[in-house]
Structure 1
């Protein structure tokens, strides 16, 4: 029996969501370039979703589309578009229209909102190299070694990292806002809890290279000394 030439599988990918608040393509372009310059590891040539919830009717999508492409970002979809004519223009550029829950804010695209129960803890004793992705499904994740820049660690529960914490770190990946991140050396490119995230330039400078505990409280991320 011959094998099918294709196979569809569920997977986990991380996408930044760009919320637009202006119709001016040149302003959008300059703002994107500034953000990319601040966090090139995370944003340079990155796939992104464009959120149009705050854009009024009458936007020229073609100009906005070209401004975003010119910045080097790659649009993979558009969310929260309410203008029927704008929707038509988006579809004509070959992009899908996406929908999001009303309370989603700065969320990575793989985040689900269903409650879950933690089953166990996954422990990894080896370094997580650049390009590697580790996912602890329905449990906490403990890494006793370091996480390199360009690596990605994801857990549905808490994350504990006892070596250098570089790379991108996602706790509460299924939407559990009670999840936390604990680390001894904070040098991350991105930290996220339940989809709410900080890029490296948003992490308070005084915690750079320090031990830290990152939590979600009062609708925002907060950081505390661990020791």
Structure 2
């Protein structure tokens, strides 16, 4: 056996590493299997490539029915039938946590931003918060990004400033602050930030601001040509963005829990 291989097998075969991977949240107000499956299909038809094999977290923050009547295994099967992967739930009630554990699902704490957001029980939507799937293994973001300022000593997260174009297949994330890109964002690229996103050039890929629930986050761009824009889970795809603001300097923000577009 080569020495390099022997050394490898002498070391531990795994290790745990912390990471922040944005996940898509499926917010459930009540559960009707037929309506649930139909709504999933309608959402997926809007952007099939976006939702394929997407990992989901089920939010029960606003679930109004008796948790004992909720079949989490059935929900997972209905999601799997649409090529969506339910990996956990977001809940705090003991009954909800127990139901998730019985179904073999992970339990996540509710988002701070969502807890602070105004209640709107009339809306049930597929929350697109990162969407973003896990990072593309071919992502070259590390090779293209240029961070202007190191994290300050007072513990406040620094913004990320990138001067080079973001190419298709790349994913760039600004944890804890704003993402500022001084170049174009190509179609097929994905940019994410806990705070605001500024693109001083055409925005043609996917932009997700406020991915940890910051409803005050905004997206600014010199030319709106995006495949998808999301703020704190509310999103619009390219078909929704076509209109008076297309290919123009634009600002996107939340108003009354709705994603709106304003001219810059």
Structure 1-normalised TM-score?
0.77
Distance in 2 (CA, whole Å) between partners of 1:211 and 1:41 is 27
Contact 2:224 2:245 in 1 (8 A): yes
SS at match of 1:47: strand
One of 140, 154, 168 as aligned partner of 2:192? 154
Distance in 2 (CA, whole Å) between partners of 1:109 and 1:222 is 18
Residue 23 of structure 1 deviates from its aligned partner by: 2.4
SS at match of 1:207: coil
1:7 aligns with 2:44: no
Structure 2-normalised TM-score?
0.67
Distance in 2 (CA, whole Å) between partners of 1:47 and 1:63 is 16
- Equivalent residue number for residue 236 of structure 2: 199
Contact 2:170 2:189 in 1 (8 A): yes
Distance in 1 (CA, whole Å) between partners of 2:92 and 2:176 is 33
How many residue pairs end up in the alignment? 218
Bigger strand share: 1
One of 46, 51, 61 as aligned partner of 1:38? 46
Deviates most, 211-220 or 13-22:
211-220
Contact 1:23 1:55 in 2 (8 A): no
1:54 aligns with 2:63: yes
Stretches of structure 2 that go unaligned for 5 or more consecutive residues are 1-6, 118-126, 132-154
SS at match of 2:244: helix
Distance in 2 (CA, whole Å) between partners of 1:98 and 1:11 is 15
Q: Structure 1 residues 81 and 26, CA, compared in 2 at 3 Å: closer, same or farther?
A: farther
Stretches of structure 1 that go unaligned for 5 or more consecutive residues are 111-115
SS at match of 1:21: coil
Contact 1:164 1:185 in 2 (8 A): yes
Distance in 2 (CA, whole Å) between partners of 1:185 and 1:143 is 13
Distance in 2 (CA, whole Å) between partners of 1:221 and 1:109 is 15
Residue 82 of structure 1 deviates from its aligned partner by: 4.2
SS at match of 2:162: strand
- Equivalent residue number for residue 103 of structure 2: 93
Residue 224 of structure 1 deviates from its aligned partner by: 0.9
Contact 1:151 1:167 in 2 (8 A): yes
- Equivalent residue number for residue 108 of structure 1: 129
CA offsets, 1:84-114, max 9 Å, x none?
Answer: 3x6545333321122214651647379xxxx
Bigger helix share: 2
Contact 1:48 1:75 in 2 (8 A): yes
CA offsets, 1:147-179, max 9 Å, x none?
Answer: 223322123443222333122223355665554
